[in-house]
Amino acid sequence: MSFSKVVRSLIKPARGLLTSSEPNLKRSYAAVTEAKAVLEHELDSIRAAGTWKAERIITSKQGPQINVEGSRDSILNFCANNYLGLSSHPEVVQAGVDALKTHGAGLSSVRFICGTQDLHKNLEQKLAEFHEREDCILYASCFDANAGLFEVLLGPDDAVLSDELNHASIIDGIRLCRAKRLRYKHMDLKDLEEKLREAQSSRMRLVVTDGVFSMDGDVAPLRGICDLAEQYGAMVFIDECHATGFLGPRGRGTDELLGVMDRVQIVNSTLGKALGGAAGGYTVGPKPLIDLLRQRSRPYLFSNALPPPVVGCATRAVELLLASSEIAQSMTAKTMRFRNKMTQAGFTISGSSHPICPVMLGDARLASLMADDMLKHGIYVIGFSYPVVPKGKARIRVQISAAHTDSDIDRCLDAFIQTGRKHGVIS
């Protein structure tokens, strides 16, 4: 048989295969086209509602002053969770560089296989010391810590009682467990007590709350919660992401601020905010709980170990706070300077004395437009709207840092007053 005949004999069956698959391919293309149309419709509705979340590009390190793509001058940043200014602290940065050199870029593995280094154990020990708890376990994020706790701790014979405004990661974590779920009204001790009575037949009861609610800067009534927990035989869990490092006389958090460190059994928090601002989360609590989490917590077992540079930065941040509470103590005066002057100017500021200072505006489009105008004045803030906050509760969430000077705060105040008058928010 000639070469050309061989080629033709191979091509014919191939053509037959292509022809027979054409209807399937067409259906596949149609499915993709339909899905794209659905997605574009959803995106258009977000834009129309004024809740589109554009990402601004920062071209510098995190700090009180940053460079933003499209702006020629440096911008004052009042929107970071960098509460203590440690994200760019020279000693914190150097510790990350040193860890990179001595321990490499990453472990390429989960902790129990070949992903645990002496750095990880050292940081866990320091975090347990910082919070005055028995032991600590590290996670890739506090979202993972919240996702990994409840499923391990609670079973179908148990009950979990959760504040209705708890962080999304807490809500998702609770959904994974099989315990009876009871949601109480936001910071409402009377409603919590009713739910605790309802849960008395359960084997274990766990009251779950944010220490500080990040959208409003509300501080949970931990004294009352602990009183009720002890009365009804429950344990208490708090998420301290927006408190660790700067609330309380020594910056230990909400439980120290309110004098209940020995009455809160479990604390989850993050390394990604005040403690260096990189990544990572953790749980501190009784050693048997931490040991069990190492055996069964899925986000811990199936996620790579935290990279050494991240661990190095966080360790140095914790060491600085263990050595001195001076940075944490500087927050109060700066926070109240901003809150008081904004209130005097006619703005509504949610929360009480927390560095999270939500400027309440209500309208999502207004929040977005004001944030854009603030950037023109050299102030970086972001409008928060649904689904990050409830509909009708849009705001610009200002966050004060220990690294801000009084002059920085006054510049932010002046920009808010000018922008607020332009948009009719204040007179």
Active site residues: 214, 242, 273
According to DSSP, the residues that pair with 396 across neighbouring strands are 359, 383
Q: Write the Ramachandran bin of 276: left for phi over 0, alpha for psi from -120 to 50, otherwise beta.
A: left
Q: Which residues contact 289 (CB under 8 A, 6 or more apart)?
A: 153, 266, 283
- Residue of 301, 297, 219, 302 lying closest to 255 (CA atoms): 219
Q: Is 401 helix (H, G, I), strand (E, B) or coil?
A: coil
339-342 long-range contacts (CB < 8 A, ≥24 apart) are: 341/413, 342/413, 342/416
Q: Cβ distance 355 to 399 under 8 Å?
A: yes
Alpha-carbon span 154 to 173, nearest angstrom: 11
If 0-12 CB within 10 Å is exposed, 13-18 middle and 19+ buried, where does residue 273 land? buried
Q: Which residues contact 48 (CB under 8 A, 6 or more apart)?
A: none
Strands 205-210 and 180-184: unpaired
The secondary structure of 181-194 as a DSSP string is EEEE-TT-HHHHHH
- Residue of 423, 397, 425 lying closest to 412 (CA atoms): 397
- DSSP category for residue 304: B
* Cα 267–Cα 271–Cα 272 angle in degrees, nearest 5: 120
The secondary structure of 258-320 as a DSSP string is TT-TTT--EEEEESSSSS-SSS-EEEEE-HHHHHHHHHH-HHHHTSBPPPHHHHHHHHHHHHH
Q: Cβ distance 196 to 205 under 8 Å?
A: yes
Q: At what angle do helices 90-103 and 308-323 cross, to 10 degrees?
A: 140
Q: Roughly how many angstroms between the first and final C-alpha of the chain, as a whole number?
A: 94
Q: Cβ distance 161 to 208 under 8 Å?
A: yes
Q: Cβ distance 139 to 311 under 8 Å?
A: no
Element (H, E) at 62: none
